[in-house]
């Protein structure tokens, strides 16, 4: 495949490489419509959704995880898959491998530089999906965000059972709900996520999902998830959230690039119910099986339900600089790619707050 220049990639997400800061956005026929008083809540500021139209928003990335996260994730994943009788596929079910070099998660200067690099490559905003219990360091994220100047949205919540803080196991559903609302106020958070399970959702994970549903009703924050393979949990997660009263249009079901099924049964079912489908581990050599899934969903009329991100620990612009050109080469047009990378994440993340910003601070 022909390499696209950075300028091509920027133009694809609707950013002029020549005059990113000064040129007004071209008027387009289908500019997204946001609810009145809707905001996108970053760590330091609530933005009007229109203010973040100058580039892509990546809805699922990681700026801070514990040094032991990778080992813990692999161990938990192997154990769950073995219990399901599934052999781990060669393509893996983990985030794409990071490029070589020192780990920016251990050096705030490096992390700030990663964020500035992403901004330079057309990224307007990043959502951090790292949670308490997985070694997330809020101060580190705040410092990196402040140093870089890139708007960062913090996710709140509890990740998956192997990563819950110990106390969660003894908490009632309403106590978990209260803890989630407290996190949302204190960070302050702009979303709940990544809220996860493997494919067999445990009883405790169900309790957390129900609590997330209730915390959503109290805050109006959008919710994004982590699923396992083969993918049964995707619809089940949406069921649990919807049963708790969540409008599916406020939910993104994640990691569905792992569900390589040419019938797209689960992907389409999620779109038909109004939710977003997350292709959120993109921008690496593992993209090949995911490209036809995204193209088929676009052709089926579900472009407005597609979200793209990297689930990355560094080099955050890759979904835009690496994956988007692959979609273009496979036939996706620029206007559709702009909708997917710039408009959809803002539609997903924009919400009308039910609580004042930082009310418990």
Residues in touch with Zn ion (CB under 5 A): 129, 194, 311
CB of 41 to Zn ion, least distance (A): 19
Q: At what angle do helices 203-219 and 173-186 cross, to 10 degrees?
A: 50
* Residue pair 204/172 in contact by the 8 Å Cβ criterion: no
Question: Which residue, 73 or 302, has its beta carbon nearer to Zn ion?
Answer: 73
Question: Which residue, 38 or 313, has its beta carbon nearer to Zn ion?
Answer: 313
CB of 317 to Zn ion, least distance (A): 17
- Token pair belonging to 273: 């119910």
CB of 282 to Zn ion, least distance (A): 12
Question: Which residue, 129 or 234, has its beta carbon nearer to Zn ion?
Answer: 129
Question: Which residue, 94 or 260, has its beta carbon nearer to Zn ion?
Answer: 94
* Residue pair 109/115 in contact by the 8 Å Cβ criterion: no
d(CA 198, CA 82): 12
Question: Which residue, 9 or 251, has its beta carbon nearer to Zn ion?
Answer: 251
Question: Which residue, 114 or 194, has its beta carbon nearer to Zn ion?
Answer: 194
CB of 129 to Zn ion, least distance (A): 5
d(CA 94, CA 92): 6
CB of 255 to Zn ion, least distance (A): 8
Contacts of 333 (CB under 8 A, 6+ apart): none
Of 306, 316, 311, the C-alpha closest to 341 is: 306
d(CA 305, CA 175): 33
d(CA 57, CA 53): 9
Distances (CA, A) of 113 to 105, 109, 120, 256: 11, 6, 10, 30
Q: Which residue is nearest to Zn ion (CB)?
A: 311
Find how far residue 55's CA is from the centre of its chain. 16
Contacts of 283 (CB under 8 A, 6+ apart): 96, 310, 312, 315, 317, 318, 319, 320, 321, 322, 323
d(CA 225, CA 230): 15
Question: Which residue, 56 or 195, has its beta carbon nearer to Zn ion?
Answer: 195
CB of 195 to Zn ion, least distance (A): 11
Q: State the DSSP code for 156.
A: E
Question: Which residue, 12 or 105, has its beta carbon nearer to Zn ion?
Answer: 105
d(CA 250, CA 190): 12
Question: Which residue, 93 or 148, has its beta carbon nearer to Zn ion?
Answer: 93
CB of 102 to Zn ion, least distance (A): 21
CB of 196 to Zn ion, least distance (A): 8
Question: Which residue, 132 or 311, has its beta carbon nearer to Zn ion?
Answer: 311
DSSP 99-130: PSSS-GGG-HHHHHHHHHHHHHTTEEEEEE--
CB of 263 to Zn ion, least distance (A): 26
d(CA 279, CA 29): 26
CB of 284 to Zn ion, least distance (A): 14
């Amino acid at each position: 495949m022909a390499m696209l220049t950075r300028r091509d990639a920027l133009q694809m997400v609707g950013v002029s490489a020549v005059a990113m800061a000064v040129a007004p956005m071209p008027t387009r026929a289908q500019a997204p419509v946001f609810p009145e008083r809707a905001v996108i809540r970053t760590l330091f500021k609530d933005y009007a959704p229109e203010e973040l139209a100058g580039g892509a928003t990546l809805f699922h990335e990681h700026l801070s995880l514990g040094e032991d996260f990778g080992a813990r994730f692999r161990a938990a994943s192997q154990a769950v898959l073995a219990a399901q009788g599934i052999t781990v596929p060669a393509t893996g079910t983990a985030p794409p491998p990071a490029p070589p070099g020192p780990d920016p998660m251990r050096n705030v200067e490096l992390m700030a530089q990663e964020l500035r690099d992403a901004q330079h490559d057309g990224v307007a905003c990043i959502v951090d999906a790292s949670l308490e219990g997985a070694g997330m360091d809020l101060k580190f994220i705040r410092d990196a965000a402040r140093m870089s100047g890139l708007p960062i949205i913090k996710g709140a919540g509890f990740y998956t059972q192997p990563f819950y803080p110990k106390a969660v196991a003894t908490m009632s559903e309403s106590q978990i709900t209260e803890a989630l609302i407290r996190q949302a106020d204190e960070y302050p958070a702009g979303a709940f996520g990544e809220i996860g399970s493997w494919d067999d959702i445990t009883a405790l994970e169900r309790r957390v999902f129900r609590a997330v549903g209730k915390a959503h009703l109290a805050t109006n924050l959008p919710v994004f998830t982590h699923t396992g393979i083969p993918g049964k949990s995707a619809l089940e997660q949406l069921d649990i959230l919807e049963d708790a009263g969540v409008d599916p249009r406020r939910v993104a079901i994640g990691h569905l690039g792992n569900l390589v099924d040419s019938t797209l049964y689960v992907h389409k079912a999620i779109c038909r119910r109004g939710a977003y489908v997350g292709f959120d581990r993109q921008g690496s050599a593992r993209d090949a099986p995911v490209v036809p899934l995204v193209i088929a969903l676009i052709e089926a009329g579900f472009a407005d339900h597609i979200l793209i991100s990297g689930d990355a620990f560094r080099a955050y612009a890759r979904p835009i600089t690496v994956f988007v050109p692959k979609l273009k080469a496979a036939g996706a047009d620029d206007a559709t790619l702009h909708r997917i990378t710039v408009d959809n994440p803002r539609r997903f993340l924009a919400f009308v707050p039910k609580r004042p910003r930082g009310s418990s601070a």
